[in-house]
Each structure stands twice: as structure tokens, then as C-alpha cells.
Amino acid sequence: MAKEALIVIDIQNDFCPGGALAVDRGDEVVPLINELIRRFDHVILTQDWHPAGHSSFASSHPGKAAFETVTMPYGEQTLWPDHCVQGTPGAEFHAGLEWTKAELVLRKGFRKTIDSYSAFFENDHSTPTGLSGYLRERGVEKVTLAGLATDFCVAYSALDARRQGFDATVILEASRGIDISGSVAAMTEKMRAAGVELV
């Protein structure tokens, strides 16, 4: 397992029931992910970490509502309710997540003018988070991903892992999707086409 790493995506209060951008049944993945954490030698967590007034928030675009789409300098952007604002309870990891074993917590989305779904790149697909270099320096060749949400941060991370030359597996039962207009099916197909193993 030494050449493998588990990447746990955004198990944060705002993505769980009762949160600002709750994924349906999002908290159900916590015990499954705790089991995965116990099995892997290398564990990395991502944490959505937005400054207040982030450009991906609908509240930053007068007259726009959450889940509408706008065009940003880097392309299409879904607008979200304010969520995972730095230092707020909503940005904290779910209380049931046994994450102390994690060797890296990667914060993303902290640049005010660009959103970040992927653990590897900002949404411009060119600004790296540094994760690829970190994994390579540690000799990791294969990543397994799970978390929230299947059709956004999990899928984008898995696709970028493949683009960066890593073998990638997504544990679907330990992930949950938002599913905007069939986005789970669309992103599942994209992952499959890119050579991501779906379990």
C-alpha cells in the first residue's frame, strides 16, 4: 500500500445535512471513510477553505441565485450558497471523521477570484495546488478517492489525477453527489472514459 494514497475529499460540516451546501445523505460516508483511513498508509484530506465574499458565491453576484451559472475569466462557474468560509464551523471537518492519521490537509478555494474543485488544480486547470509534486516525492503512484461531492470535487480530482499520470480509483459507495441536472451520471461517464476505476 506504500505506493498508494487515500485522498478524502471535503468531509466538512457545510456539505453534510444541516450545512449551507448540504449533499443529500452526505454524512453517511463518514463511517465508510473512517474504515478506508484505517486501511491506507498514506492519507490526505482536502478542505474547502473560502474567504468571505468568494467569487463562486451567489451572494457575490447581485441578481444571481445559487446553482445558476456565470462566465468567469477561467470559464463556466456554478454559483453556490456561501459555504466553507475560513474559520467558520461550516468549514470544519465532520465531527465523526477520524482524520488524525492524515499526513496532509490540503486547503483549496482560498483564492478569492477562482474556485477550486480539484485537489490538484484550481478551476482554471493550470494553477496547481502542489499535490502532484507532494505525491511524486513520496513515491505514490496510485490514488483512491472518496468524499463529497461525487460529481464535483471528487470527479474533478480523479480526472486530474489521471491527467497527472496517477492510477485513480473512486469509491462510489463512500461518496455522495449533488446531482444538478444529471451531473452525477455525466461525471461518472467522464471518469470512466478517462480510465478512472469506479468501485
**Which grid coordinates are listed for 49?**
477553505
DSSP, residue by residue, 21-51 = TPPTTGGGHHHHHHHHHHH-SEEEEEEE-BP
Q: Which one from 27, 82, 153, 160 is the annotated catalytic residue?
A: 153
Is 124 one of the annotated active-site residues of the chain?
A: no
Is 3 one of the annotated active-site residues of the chain?
A: no
Rounded to 5°, angle at Cα 148 from 147 and 149: 130
Residue with cell 477561467: 74
Q: Return the CA Rg of the chain.
A: 16
Q: Which one from 14, 16, 82, 108 is the annotated catalytic residue?
A: 108
Question: What phi and psi values does residue 21 have, to the nearest 5 degrees?
Answer: -135, 60
CA nearest neighbour of 57 among 72, 45, 73: 72
CA dihedral of 197, 101, 96, 46, whole degrees rounded to 10: -50
Question: 103: which residues sit within 8 A by CB, 6+ positions away?
Answer: 42, 43, 44
Is 10 one of the annotated active-site residues of the chain?
A: yes
| Side chain identity at residue 78, one-letter code | T
Please provide the size of the chain in residues: 199
By annotation, the residues acting in catalysis are 10, 108, 153
